[in-house]
Amino acid sequence: MATSNNDNLAVLIDADNAQAAIIHELLAEVSRYGTASVKRAYGDWTTPSLKKWKDVLHEMAIQPIQQFSYTAGKNSTDSALIIDAMDLLHTGRLNGVCLVSSDSDFTRLATRIRESGLVVYGFGERKTPKPFVAACDKFIYSDILKPAKTGDAASKPTAEPLKPMLIDAVNAAAQDDGWANLGTVGSVLQKSNPSFDPRNYGFQKLGELVRKQPYLSLKEVQISSASGAFQILVRLK
């Protein structure tokens, strides 16, 4: 997944299925991957349930897209977002799309955007169905974007599935001597598990997480004596 901070991104928010409380942190996260040249939030803004979103739209320069709920029990917001996403896709001016929702209805949209060569970043709660998570190049769980508090690491989800993921990634990236470049390991993890993020386990960086795993060994190898540059290698013990 090749990304650049110069990438033009569209941030499309399903306000019915996203949290307004973390919009500052969410847009800061988006800035790690590119520039949010389009920011739109979809919903029926006449309803009281979206009041929290209305309070931040102007502040964050997010364009509200009105979509009335014509039929009880039907979410017309999804259709409006999908239509806009396809229109934006065909302008040819974007490098990627950020879909902010926990709704599995956007699974096919994410797949379609990727088929056109654009990167898809998903943002949603942990209840987000796995098909939507898997359809994105990268999926960020919204709870890890909340400001950290003392003891947060201990309250992170269990790392039970972490060990097999890391072992598979190290094996896939390993050279003949068994050592694998940590950056390559990270790329393998991201491609095979779009929701993988060290922050899910209470760590800011992959290197910090790997160092805490008793079944892995790390070493630093200097690659340039002139600049002092080095690379981090990892292998199974």
Tens-place pLDDT, residues 63-102: 999 987 655 544 567 889 999 999 999 999 999 999 999 9
CA 222 – CA 225 distance, rounded (Å): 7
Cβ distance 97 to 10 under 8 Å?
yes
Q: What confidence category does residue 54 fall into, taking pLDDT thresholds of 50, 70 and 90?
A: confident
- Structural tokens at position 5: 């901070």
When comparing pLDDT for 4 and 133, which is higher? 133
- Structural tokens at position 57: 């739209």
Fold match, 8-145 / 153-236: no
3-state SS of 99-121?
EECCCHHHHHHHHHHHHCCCEEE
Domain extents in the chain: 8-145, 153-236
State in words which class domain 8-145 has. Answer: alpha beta
């926990």: which residue's tokens? 102
Q: Per DSSP, which regions of the chain are E strands?
A: 8-14, 35-43, 63-66, 96-100, 119-124, 138-141, 180-181, 216-224, 229-236
Q: Could you tell me the pTM of the whole model?
A: 0.84
Q: What confidence category does residue 159 fall into, taking pLDDT thresholds of 50, 70 and 90?
A: very low
User: Under CATH, what is the fold of the domain 153-236?
Assistant: Nucleotidyltransferase; domain 5 (3.30.420)
Residue 175 CA from chain centroid, whole number: 29
Tens-place pLDDT, residues 32-50: 999 999 999 999 998 898 9
Beta bridge partners of 73: none
